[in-house]
Amino acid sequence: MTDTTKTPGDRELVLTRILNAPRENVYRCWTDPKILPLWFAPKPWTTPKVEVDVRPGGSSLFVMAGPDGTEFPNRGIYLDVVPNERIVFTDAFVSAWEPSEKPFMTGILTFEDAGPVKTKYTARVLHWSVEDREAHEKMGFHEGWDQCADQLEEIAAKL
C-alpha cells in the first residue's frame, strides 16, 4: 500500500497512528463527554470538565488541569463532523460564530479502517502562524498527543 500521508507544511503538526480499536470506538472516544476525560490529557494532567455539542457549529469546552491543579479552559466549535470518519474543530470561535480573543489552531481528525478492529487515526493541527506552530511544538505536541493516542487506544479497545 502506498503511503499518501501529506507532508506537513510550515504551520501544521501531524500525528498518524494505527490504533488497535475499531474506528467507531475511536470516534466515540472523541465525542462522548463521559469518555473524553479518561484519555484526553497526557497524564499526570487531567480533564475535569468536558462539554461537547458535536455537530457543525456546535461548541465545545475542554478544561485541562495541570498536576498542581491549575486549570486551562479551551473553548471552540466544530466546523465539520462526519460520524466515524472526520471531526474538524477550531478555537477561532468560542460559541456560535463569536470570535475568540486569540485563535491558535484548527484540528482535523480522521478515522479510517486499517484492518480488522484497527483504525488509522490522523490528527492534523493547522496553526494561524509559524510562531503558533513552533509554540505548540515547544509545549510538547509530539509527546503529548502521542501519549494521548496511547490512552485513547487503551480506552477505545475496551468499549
d(CA 134, CA 121): 23
pLDDT in tens, the chain (159 residues): 344 445 568 999 999 999 999 999 999 999 999 999 999 999 999 999 999 999 999 999 999 999 999 999 999 999 999 999 999 999 999 887 889 999 999 999 999 999 889 999 999 999 999 999 999 999 999 999 999 999 999 999 999
Burial class (CB in 10 A: 0-12, 13-18, 19+), 100: middle
Cell matching residue 150: 496511547
- What is the pTM (predicted TM-score) of this model? 0.91
- 90, 98, 124 from 113: Cα distances, Å: 25, 35, 18
Q: Going from the N-terminus, what domains does the chain have, and what CATH number goes with each?
A: 12-158 (3.30.530.20)
